[in-house]
Amino acid sequence: MIHRVGSRLIICAILSSPFFISGGLAFLDPSVPILLRLMVLAVGVVIMALGTYMSLSGVAPTPSLATGEQEIIVGHPSQKPAYARVGLSIPFIVATGYLFTFTEYPYIYPFVTFMIGLYFLFKGIMKYMRNLHITYTITDRRVMHMYKFLWLHTKEIPVARLISISESRSFFEILTGRGTVVASAGLGSAQVVKIEEIDNVTPVAEALREMLPSNA
């Protein structure tokens, strides 16, 4: 537990440190607009504060099992999409530093690349933090989706009511070996549990198909 929280805090520090360093260096250069300096530092503060809060307050939820209930599969969404978005932000942030430091272009150019990089960075961080707090659990009695941030949200379907199991993959999920398993007990979103963005799509789907009442 302590190791997991510590590793998350280290990741937050790594992600926020370029903004603290850049903002600090910008304050040494009087030609840099004060608004830009504050904006860069603010990004670092937001990343560190948000990451620290979610690392300390949010732990991947675990279900309470009934007497005799057995866990079959427990998992979390893949972090590949989060890593891809953070990676996509790096060229834009590097370009911002280059334009700002080694060229005399108007500040609008590095500002545009900075905002684009910031967009992908925050999308990646939010995806990473969100996925840390999602747990998918399949037992011999239930299929569950649990999300815990400010409060715990649980959605579950009894295995005895399962009607169909399907798999879905977007183009990018096919390229990265990810996908979604959809467990349905009827019509409407309340009767559906989606096990999204997982790496082991087919094994999870096959395990659920074996549990269908029609196969029992």
Amino acid at 42: A
Exposed e or buried b for every residue in 140-178, given b needs 16+ CB within 10 A? ebbbbbbbbbeeeeeebbebeebeebeeeeeeebeeeeb
> Does 27 score more than 90 pLDDT?
no
145 - beta bridge partners? Answer: 136, 155
**C-alpha–C-alpha distance, residues 94 and 92, integer Å:** 5
User: Domain extents for the chain?
Assistant: 58-215
**pLDDT digits over 138-195, tens only?**
999 999 999 877 677 889 999 999 999 999 988 888 888 899 999 999 888 889 999 9
Q: What is the pLDDT of residue 11?
A: 76
Q: How much of the chain exceeds pLDDT 90, in percent?
A: 32
Please name the CATH architecture into which domain 58-215 falls. Answer: Roll (2.30)
**pLDDT digits over 78-107, tens only?**
988 888 998 999 999 889 888 877 888 887
The SS3 of residue 168 is strand
**pLDDT digits over 33-42, tens only?**
787 778 888 8
**pLDDT digits over 126-145, tens only?**
888 888 889 999 999 999 99
